[in-house]
A and B are shown apart, each in its own frame.
Chain A
Amino acid sequence: MSEASKERLFEALDLFRAKINENARLQQMNRDWNRDIAVVAKDLPEVQASIEMREGQMDWRPQAAENPHIVLTAPADVLIGIFRGDSTPTEPYLDGSLTLRGSQEDVLRLDFVSLMIWGE
């Protein structure tokens, strides 16, 4: 079960990366936003993942972030839904299932990135 969830989470991160990196406008918007983001799946404590934003490009690694600017914590299914665009971060953030630790501007920016990719 947890191996399947881990695979789904990693696939979702791959998709999120592809969507960001193919979006020229988003790259322009985020050209100054160099951030390390820790992704913590509460129900998969053995799984580590981190996102790196550099000059508008995103990459991710299956390892913990050192001194992350933002820490995203949620059950794996919530994270998968956000990275796949099945749900926005707003509702899980408001109902408490997703917690975001970081500066308010960074948190808002991350929400914005997700909406620019998937929002319609």
Chain B
Amino acid sequence: MKRVYGVSLGSSQRDHTAQVMMLGEDIELTRKGTDGDLLAAEAAIREIDGTVDAIGLGGIDVYLYARGERYVVRDGLRLKQAAEKTPAVDGSGIKDTLERDAVRYLAAHTNLLTPSTRVLMVSAVDRFGMAEAFVELGCPVVFGDLIFSAGMPYPITTLDELADIARRILPEMGKLPFTMLYPTGKEQEGQHDSGRFQEYYAAADLIAGDWHYIRKYLPERIDGKWILTNTTTSKDIEELRRRGATHVVTTTPVMGGRSFGTNLIEAMIVALAGKQPEELGHAGYRAWLDKLGLVPRIEDLGGTPA
């Protein structure tokens, strides 16, 4: 049996273990949250290093991307480097391909996504492939990177401007403590101000991107809207149903009642392949994703479309 261990800066309330079979191999997936404690995450990685087949780094990015430029998140790199024997991955090796494919799949196989779908993408530098896919499809997109990470009421509407702002700020912002940039630990359990920035939610048909950012200012009612995100729990799904969302689509598969983060899926591929991430490269990941045949999971919440 392959063993994949996920260490996350996220809430320990989302901890879980699941046994899955993938391509004929049994895999044990375990996720351990450290409630935003970077030192605890680093200690957990050092402890597990060398005893499992791959480590997933959750609740944090090691790299952010915009228009082919890669920006380092210092705290993320520190966690990656804490694993000296076992490969540690943050999901960025597959996220670009998987999420780009998810958008194309939804456009081709469902009536949820069309070129006239108005998209609020809460952050794009952590999933530039998805951002490019929306633009390629012709959707009007608001990139909420400044709104959701810095509380600035400034919608970015083009990839060019997103890349320009990223070039100016990310080399320095990536050096700051990650907890300043992204909700971690207990911050992930609560919500900020559900009245703030609601005009951006109201103007969208689809709210896409990181779940914790989506939830940050989520209005009490989102009737007729749908959500495209990464990881959700059954509690999150119920919350969205209660608020009137029509569908929740997750880009990663559901196992044991929950969707797993891209970091765990990437770690699973690394474990199955028995290779270092650098050896796999883009083509290697592409081949494994094709073999796994992952498609987005669409959950109908029963809400009435707008």
Contact = CB atoms under 8 A, between A and B. Distances in A.
Given A104-B180, A120-B167, A109 B150 contact: yes
A115 B174 CA distance: 12
B154 A88 contact: no
A107 B169 CA distance: 14
A31 interface: yes
A119 B153 contact: no
Question: How big is the B interface, by class?
Answer: 10 to 19
A116 B176 contact: no
A78 to B, nearest CB: 15
A101 B176 CA distance: 16
Contacts of B173: 90, 111-112, 115
Interface string A29-66: 11111000000000000000000000000000000000
A105 interface: yes
Given A90-B176, A111-B176, A116 B169 contact: yes
A22 to B, nearest CB: 16
Contact of B175 (A29, A30, A94, A104): A94
B139 interface: no
A28 to B, nearest CB: 6
Contacts of A30: 152
Contacts of B27: none
Contacts of B149: 108
B303 interface: no
B26 interface: no
A92 to B, nearest CB: 12
B171 A112 contact: no
Interface of B: 146, 149-154, 165, 167-169, 171-173, 175-176, 180-181
Given A91-B175, A115-B168, A120-B168, 12 more contacts: A29-B153, A30-B152, A32-B153, A90-B175, A104-B180, A105-B151, A109-B152, A112-B146, A112-B152, A112-B173, A119-B171, A120-B167
